[in-house]
Chains A and B, each alone.
Chain A
Amino acid sequence: MSFQAGVVTELGRISLICFLSLIVGWLSSYIVESLLLGIFLYSLWLHTKLAKLLSWIRSGMLDTPPSVNGVWKEIYTNLTSHKKRQIKAIRKMRGTVQRISQLTHAIDQGILVLKSDLRLEWWNTAARGQLCLTSSDKGHSLTSLIRDPLFAEYLNKQVFEGEVELPSRALPERTLVFTASHFGDGEIVLVISDITQLKNLEKLRKEFVGNVSHELRTPLTVLRGYLETLGDGIVINKSNLHRAYQQMSEQVIRMQALADDLIVLSRLEDEPTVVPVDKVDLKILLEEIVKEALIISEGVHEITLECPDDAYLMAQKGDLHSAISNIVINAVRHNPEGVRIVIKVVRDEDDIVISVRDDGIGINANVIHKLTERFYRADSSRNSRVAGTGLGLAIVKHIISRYGGALEIKSKPGEGAEFISRFPIEIS
């Protein structure tokens, strides 16, 4: 039954009452009074209907609606279906909320919600375990429970940068990483991950690399010493052994270089920041590097240096030398005869930029990001004429980042390459 039909029924009802009271009025000759009586009776009936509707609505609209017809039935059915839809929506919403809350409790990362004044608002199961929280901790300030000064400093900044690493409260040998971010109405969400395993692995790797390279050094020195003695004497004259001897010497030298580079790398990793620094005159340093590079190049490359007289960097000279010379010697080694190499020092607003550009063979775009990985070597053939350990650029990157700088590599195959080292202007 449509709404119009309901209205029509109701109009019919009104006209019937009017008609009846008119007839009664005509018979009793009190037309006005009987009309008024009719209207009064009708409004009384309306009122009882309304009272019923109201009590039904008050009771939650869940009972079966009273059997009525006309516009009343329409009202009841509309309200009932509306209520049903609402109940369905609420149920669905509740289910979703429950699922999300189950999900957050199932995650093994700790999640905390803090109010803007760092009071604890909510946390999941993992966070409770990691931070030893109890259910009465709601409303307590998190920084009074985790009192590490680093943590307080991180949270008090309000602009969250990076993350903060702390030992766990439950088990001090485990390391937790906290990452905070703003959300909602000034609230803060804190995500905690346990990185103990990662840390241990990293430590193991560092120790392993450092120890192995140290241990390799001694036998290699012995080998090299004997090989050199042999070279002076008998073996070299017997032509069938000559090649074997030469290969052995070359490979021993290469292995020694490798061990040395690995030791340098692990030293760089162990001391992420540098303390004692001296004022390095870049012009003098770069001139030295050019000289060395020209010796390795045996005069087949053209190397030019453009450097202002007053360029200085506060750094350890050895570090800086090995970083830049690694780049320049790479350019010499990997490029054919006649290639021009330009070393340029520029000072811009934020950085001191040392760029080494060549117009040689260039590097494929898809391997550029791999260049600074350990043991990555750009030439695919292992036994190529180019001797190298594959650690050079890893060392370069480490050194530059130790001074807060960055290494950028631009290149296209056939169009040469440019290695740009940026050092922050603060250390100039």
Chain B
Amino acid sequence: MEKKMFFENHIVRQFDEELDSIRKGMMEMAGKVEQQLHNAMLSITDADSNLAKEVIQGDSEIDVMELNIDKACVLLLAKRQPAARDLRLVVGITRAVKDLERIGDEACKIAAHSVELAELGLTFSAFSDVNNLANSIIAMLNRSLDAFARFDHKSARLAMNYSSYELDSKKIIEGLGDYMMANPESISEMINILWVVRSLERVGDHAQNLCEQIVFVVEGEDIRHS
């Protein structure tokens, strides 16, 4: 009897460890993604095309991380057949990793525009608005990842409802349009900024998806598209 108990415990512990290492891997990936996004925005404000190129090169590292985590998830599903919350966690992680990878891609795109902007020169006077938007989106991403680390579905719901990035980006894009009409010579610069704003908006969407995944993992309720 005692032997059997010990055996069961042993299996469970190993399972926990595997699940934990997947979570850890995802958080590591999230850290890298956050850094990429931060550096991409920094490279625009500092007109530092070297940093931007670093961001572009760093993307492959994130891709490798995504593949590894995905593989570990599939292996865990096959080997342990988790149920209930554990299953939701594994599924949630595979979805979250996809979102993280996309955010990494967006950071990469921002960096590519940053290289072009460094050549064109930044003249747009309202760029601080873009920066503010980026900061609020980075903060939202940060909050949603914190919620993931803590399994805190309440703060995930809060982070989701609280943000107003869609409105802000709309306003910025309107401003860009006005500026373009007044200064047609800066159109190529404005187009780059436009793409940056677009990318930031996408990052915001992915951060929202992350929040939805936490709610799914903890509460078991799928709140996508609702």
Contacts and interface: CB of A to CB of B under 8 A. Distances in A.
A148 B38 CA distance: 11
A140 B28 contact: no
Interface in B38-63: none
A134 B154 CA distance: 14
Contacts of B30: 147
A152 B150 contact: no
Nearest to B61: A149
A152 B31 CA distance: 9
Contact of A143 (B27, B35, B146): B27
A136 B150 contact: yes
A147 B150 contact: no
A141 interface: yes
B35 A149 contact: yes
Contacts of B142: 169
Given A137-B150, A140-B150, A147 B31 contact: yes
Chain A interface mostly: helix
A144 interface: yes
B145 interface: yes
Instruction: Select the residue from B20, B28, B145, B148 with max chain A CB neighbours within 10 A.
Output: B28
A195 interface: no
Given A148-B35, A149-B35, A143 B150 contact: no
Instruction: Select the residue from A137, A148, A149, A169 with max chain B CB neighbours within 10 A.
Output: A149
Nearest to B58: A149
Interface in A147-199: 147-149, 151-152, 169
Contacts of A152: 28, 31
A144 B19 CA distance: 14
Contact of A148 (B24, B31, B152): B31
A365 interface: no
Contacts of A137: 150
Nearest to B29: A147
A140 B147 CA distance: 12
Contacts of A140: 149-150
B23 interface: yes
Chain B interface mostly: helix
Nearest to B145: A147
A145 interface: yes
A169 B34 CA distance: 12
A149 B28 contact: yes
A149 B150 contact: no
Contacts of B32: 149
B210 to A, nearest CB: 13
A181 B191 CA distance: 50
Nearest to A143: B27
Contact of A145 (B23, B34, B35, B146): B146
Interface in A111-150: 134, 136-137, 140-141, 143-145, 147-149
A141 B150 contact: no
Contacts of A169: 142
Contacts of B27: 141, 143-144, 147
7 contacts: A136-B150, A140-B150, A141-B27, A143-B24, A143-B31, A147-B30, A148-B34
Interface of B: 20, 23-24, 27-28, 30-32, 34-35, 142, 145-146, 148-150, 152
Interface of A: 134, 136-137, 140-141, 143-145, 147-149, 151-152, 169
